[in-house]
């Protein structure tokens, strides 16, 4: 038996007035996901444990069976593992746009990779020797601090404060927070010298490097991870899974779906477990665009789910599909609400369509996210 975990990031939502008080999942034409639903079994899963912010790092680790209370140290260190970056303390570092003290764009105008590299290069030239910046995909960078700080700093994800004054959300708590705020002030002069899209940095979710158990040790299977973003790749590397790179991916709804789907099919031949995480639906949710979200779900259904299930032996592959967390377009940020999930290839129930309300009637009922892998395997 092979196992396939499909995670369309941020696909779950709330009812939207413009959609007739329905969710994007209820409106979207998604025949392939609904086929798996009709032939499988559904439920609702709590992927964000109590006391944690509803981030993709927390949700995906929980889905994969990792106790975040024991192992989680921050998002930045996980992304660092994806790129082989080492340091004492690592923060995720966005290039953002702030206007009149208000967070306008957490993604720096979707700055391209080459321009972002120049920005981070300039930041390195103006920063202390024990601070190092690393560029990633588009606006996503890392900030590494190679000095010992034993205090805890409180930071806020920039996508959580869109349209809000940043003053109340600056890093706080200790000397490390003071360093971060100082670097942010320096960036206000450096970033605009290189690009017109972004105008400062925003460090968040930092910590020391974690030590995760291996996926094989946890579940007895050799696993592969496919994703467009460093965060999920870092989780895969941290768990000792094979991380498979796909060319031409963007992390948006214009990504290389064919490449992702083909890589998934190939990985299933060599691994007993494959996880495919796709980012674009979450990104348009952060933009507050319900039309693009509906379109993104339909594209995902056709170009990922449809493509894959048409080319595998469904009797030999058990499939689980779920969003890692909701990203309601009206809120433009993540929430910790339970998400719908389906498992195909184990048992059946009477649920006919995959959405936030139909799946409440599924036979799996309500499930703690950390138990999902047990249900699948």
Considering the domain architecture, whether residues 193 and 103 belong to the same structural domain is answered as yes
Residue 100 has pLDDT above 90, yes or no: yes
> What would the mean pLDDT of 268-276 be, rounded to a whole number?
97
Considering the domain architecture, whether residues 93 and 181 belong to the same structural domain is answered as yes
pLDDT in tens, 177-222: 999 999 999 999 999 999 999 999 999 999 998 999 999 999 999 9
Considering the domain architecture, whether residues 334 and 215 belong to the same structural domain is answered as yes
Among 163, 181, 207, the domain-final residue is 207
pLDDT in tens, 348-360: 999 999 999 999 9
The pLDDT assigned to 149 comes to: 87
pLDDT in tens, 276-312: 999 999 999 999 999 999 999 999 999 999 999 999 9
215 falls within a domain: yes
The pLDDT assigned to 331 comes to: 94
Considering the domain architecture, whether residues 222 and 366 belong to the same structural domain is answered as yes
Residue 361 has pLDDT above 90, yes or no: yes
Of the two residues 341 and 174, the one the predictor is more confident about is: 341
The pLDDT assigned to 197 comes to: 94
Query: Residue 273: what are its φ and ψ, rounded to 5°?
Result: -135, 130
Q: Which domain holds residue 332?
A: 2-72+211-376
DSSP 67-110: -HHHH---HHHHHHHHHT---SEEEEEEEEEEETTEEEETTTTT
156 falls within a domain: yes
336 falls within a domain: yes
Residue 121 has pLDDT above 90, yes or no: yes
Report the length, in residues, of the chain.
377
The pLDDT assigned to 83 comes to: 87
With 0-12 CB in 10 A as exposed, 13-18 as middle and 19+ as buried, what is 163?
A: exposed
Q: Round the average pLDDT of the chain to a whole number and report it.
A: 96
Q: What's the domain count of the chain?
A: 2
> What would the mean pLDDT of 139-152 be, rounded to a whole number?
91
The pLDDT assigned to 150 comes to: 81
pTM as predicted: 0.85
Considering the domain architecture, whether residues 274 and 350 belong to the same structural domain is answered as yes
Is residue 126 within 8 A of residue 182, CB to CB? The reply is no
What are the tokens at 142? Answer: 């890392």
pLDDT band at 145 (very low <50, low <70, confident <90, very high): very high
The pLDDT assigned to 137 comes to: 83
Considering the domain architecture, whether residues 322 and 260 belong to the same structural domain is answered as yes
For the domain that residue 144 is a member of, what is the CATH number? Answer: 3.30.70
pLDDT band at 102 (very low <50, low <70, confident <90, very high): very high
Between the alpha carbon of residue 163 and those of residues 103, 252, 280, 281, the distances in Å are 5, 22, 21, 21
Specify the residue for token string 């990504």.
Answer: 255
Among 207, 238, 272, the domain-final residue is 207
Read off the DSSP letter of residue 229. Answer: S
The pLDDT assigned to 132 comes to: 97
pLDDT in tens, 244-261: 999 999 999 999 999 999
First to last CA, the chain: 9
78 falls within a domain: no
219 falls within a domain: yes
> What would the mean pLDDT of 37-43 be, rounded to a whole number?
98
For the domain that residue 62 is a member of, what is the CATH number? Answer: 3.40.720.10
CA 130 centroid distance within chain: 29
Query: Residue 361: what are its φ and ψ, rounded to 5°?
Result: -90, 0
């Amino acid at each position: 038996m092979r196992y396939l975990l499909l995670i369309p990031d941020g696909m779950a939502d709330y009812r939207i007035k413009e959609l007739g008080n329905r969710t994007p999942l209820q409106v979207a034409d998604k025949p392939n996901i609904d086929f798996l639903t009709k032939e499988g079994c559904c439920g609702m899963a709590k992927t964000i444990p109590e006391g944690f912010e509803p981030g993709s790092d927390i949700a995906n680790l929980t889905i994969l069976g990792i106790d975040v209370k024991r192992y989680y140290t921050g998002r930045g260190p996980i992304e660092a593992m994806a790129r082989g970056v080492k340091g004492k303390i690592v923060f995720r570092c966005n290039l953002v746009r702030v206007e009149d003290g208000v967070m306008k764009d957490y993604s720096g105008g979707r700055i391209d990779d080459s321009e972002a590299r120049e920005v981070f290069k300039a930041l390195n030239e103006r920063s202390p020797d024990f601070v190092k910046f690393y560029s990633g995909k588009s606006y996503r960078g890392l900030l590494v601090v190679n000095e010992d700080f034993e205090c805890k700093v409180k930071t806020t994800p920039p996508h959580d404060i869109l349209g809000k004054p940043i003053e109340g959300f600056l890093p706080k708590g200790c000397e490390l927070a003071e360093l971060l705020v100082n670097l942010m002030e320096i960036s206000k002069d450096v970033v605009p010298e290189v690009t017109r899209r972004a105008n400062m940095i925003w460090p968040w979710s930092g910590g020391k490097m974690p030590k995760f158990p291996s996926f094989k040790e946890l579940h007895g299977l050799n696993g592969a991870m496919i994703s467009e973003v460093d965060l999920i790749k870092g989780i895969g590397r941290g768990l000792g899974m094979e991380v498979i790179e796909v060319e031409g991916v963007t992390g948006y709804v214009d990504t290389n779906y064919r490449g992702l789907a083909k890589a998934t099919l190939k990985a299933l031949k060599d691994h007993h477990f494959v996880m495919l995480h796709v980012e674009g639906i979450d990104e348009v949710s952060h933009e507050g665009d319900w039309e693009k979200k509906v379109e993104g779900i339909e594209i995902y259904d056709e170009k990922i789910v449809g493509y894959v299930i048409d080319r595998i032996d469904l009797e030999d592959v058990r499939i689980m599909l779920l969003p890692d967390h909701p990203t309601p377009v009206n809120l433009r940020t993540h929430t910790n609400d339970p998400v719908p999930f389906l498992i195909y290839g184990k048992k059946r129930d009477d649920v006919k369509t995959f959405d936030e309300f139909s799946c409440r009637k599924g036979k799996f009922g309500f499930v703690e996210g950390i138990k999902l892998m047990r249900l699948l395997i």
